[in-house]
Amino acid sequence: MKQDKELDTDFGVRSLDAVCINESRLAHKWYHNFKYLFVGMLFGVVLVKAEIISWVRIQEMFRLQSFHMYGVIGSAVAVGIISVWLIKRFKIKTIYGEPVKFHPKQFSKGQIYGGLIFGFGWAITGACPGPLFAQMGSGATVVLVTLLSAVAGTWVYGLLRDKLPH
Amino acid sequence: MMEILRQPWPWYIAGPLIGLTVPALLLIGNKSFGISSSLRHICAACIPANIPFFRYEWRKETWNLVFVAGIFLGGMLAAAFFNNPQPVRVNPALVAELSQYGITDFKGLVPHDLMSWSSLFTLRGMIIMVAGGFLVGFGTRYAGGCTSGHAIMGLSNLQFPSLVATFSFIVGGFLMANLLLPFILSI
């Protein structure tokens, strides 16, 4: 019984999260993960080449001195909305023939408080989590410190979670 | 061809490519695009410390760690083969502002005057890299996602909470960049 309760807690915790529910009932061999490595690589190349990982571009964005980042995010969202609509409209299946699942997000005050806190960090470091990995790859080894600090921040959130307003 | 790849890519190429990551991940394995969760999986894998938030089967989310490893490799690839030798073109108003703080070198994507191993042990470097990183990790998890999970994936799926989160990211960024960051940079 205790075990069940813990599992429940875990699900409650996970359902609040951005990507944590990715239950596929299909079991895959380890090498199936290579496709994510490949998509990640393409994504990383785009982050570098469009200068999305540039600290200065982020400063320009937050000072309304350049349209670049708004164009990137806006067109990405537009393509994302159309893609998701097409997948839903035509019930497009995954390459394994499974129906595509979407996970509605629940509102919590964390999206405001946490969102503001992340916004502060984004403007200071000039990077959101994805660019941290790409910056390190492109040779800025010191960003490892920023990444470890971000892991520490995530850990402290996990520690304090019950005491924070949600 | 190589010349074109070496140039900085315009937003109307990069944005749609980033948007296509959403259907790509959905169709190759039913995965919702999101990056900040990888930080949580690292905690769960390395230092769970019996905290409920980190007690889950992180191995099921291995794909996410592989995905961010791919981003790292993509960064290496871009720097090795399509490196733009020119400095980043910056708005002149920003150049003038940053030069007041001794930031004049725009050769790399990460300004060397601000973030380097030698500046890590200055007060300014500590605040920028250590405190800044902490806020990124804490804030994204508190918000339940970052620019990818909320602003791209969440908005693509027309999720109201993601709109709230995205709005908060932008407000936080504007406040920091315009009000507080100038003080930090002038240290």
Residues of B in contact with A139 (CB under 8 A): 76, 79, 108
Chain B touched by A108 (CB under 8 Å): yes
Residues of B in contact with A134 (CB under 8 A): 71-72, 74-75, 78
CA distances for A111 relative to A114, A146, B138, B149, angstroms: 5, 22, 12, 12
DSSP character string of B133-147: HHHHHHHHHHHT--I
- Shortest Cα–Cα distance, B86 to chain A (Å): 12
Does pLDDT of B78 surpass 80? Answer: yes
Q: What does DSSP assign to residue B122? A: S
Closest CA to B162 of A71, A112, A135: A112
DSSP character string of B24-59: HHHHHHS----STHHHHHHHHHH--TT-GGG-S-GG
Highest-confidence range of A30-34, B3-7, B15-19, B102-106, by mean pLDDT? Answer: B15-19
- List, in order, residues 6 or more apart from A160 with CB less than 8 Å away: none
User: In A14-47, which positions are buried (b, 16+ CB within 10 angstroms) versus exposed (e)?
Assistant: bebbbbbebeeeeeeeeeebebbbbbbbbbbbbb
pTM exceeds 0.80 for this model: yes
Does pLDDT of B169 surpass 90? Answer: yes
* Mean per-residue pLDDT over chain B, rounded: 95
Residues of A in contact with B15 (CB under 8 A): 50, 71-76, 78-79
Contact B14 A52 (CB under 8 A): yes
As a whole number of angstroms, the distance between CA A42 and CA B17 comes to 9
Q: Could you give the residue ranges of the DSSP H alpha helices within chain A?
A: 2-15, 34-49, 55-62, 68-89, 110-125, 129-137, 143-160
Chain A touched by B124 (CB under 8 Å): no
- Residue B130 corresponds to which tokens in the numbers above? 């250590």
Q: What is the pLDDT of residues B116-129, one digit of tens each?
A: 999 999 999 999 99
As a whole number of angstroms, the distance between CA A23 and CA B99 comes to 50
- Residue B25 corresponds to which tokens in the numbers above? 């991940």
Calculate the CA dihedral of residues B130, B134, B140, B143 and round it to 10 degrees: -140
Say which of B39, B106, B132 has its CB closest to residue A56: B106
- Shortest Cα–Cα distance, B91 to chain A (Å): 6
Q: Is the C-alpha dihedral spanning A75, A47, B82, B132 positive or negative?
A: positive
pLDDT band at residue A23 under the 50/70/90 scheme: low
Q: What is the ipTM of this complex?
A: 0.96
User: In B162-181, which positions are buried (b, 16+ CB within 10 angstroms) versus exposed (e)?
Assistant: bbbbbbbbbebbbbbbeeeb
The pLDDT of residue A39: 98
The pLDDT of residue A2: 37
SS3 state of residue B87:
coil
For residue A99, the cross-strand partners are: A93
How far from each other are the two terminal CA atoms of chain A, in whole angstroms?
Answer: 27
SS3 state of residue A93:
strand
Q: What is the pLDDT of residues A100-155, one digit of tens each?
A: 999 899 999 999 999 999 999 999 999 999 999 999 999 999 999 999 999 999 99
Closest CA to A72 of A92, A47, A40, A101: A47
The pLDDT of residue B108: 87
As a whole number of angstroms, the distance between CA A143 and CA A140 comes to 6
DSSP character string of A41-71: HHHHHHHHHTTTT-HHHHHHHHTT--SHHHH
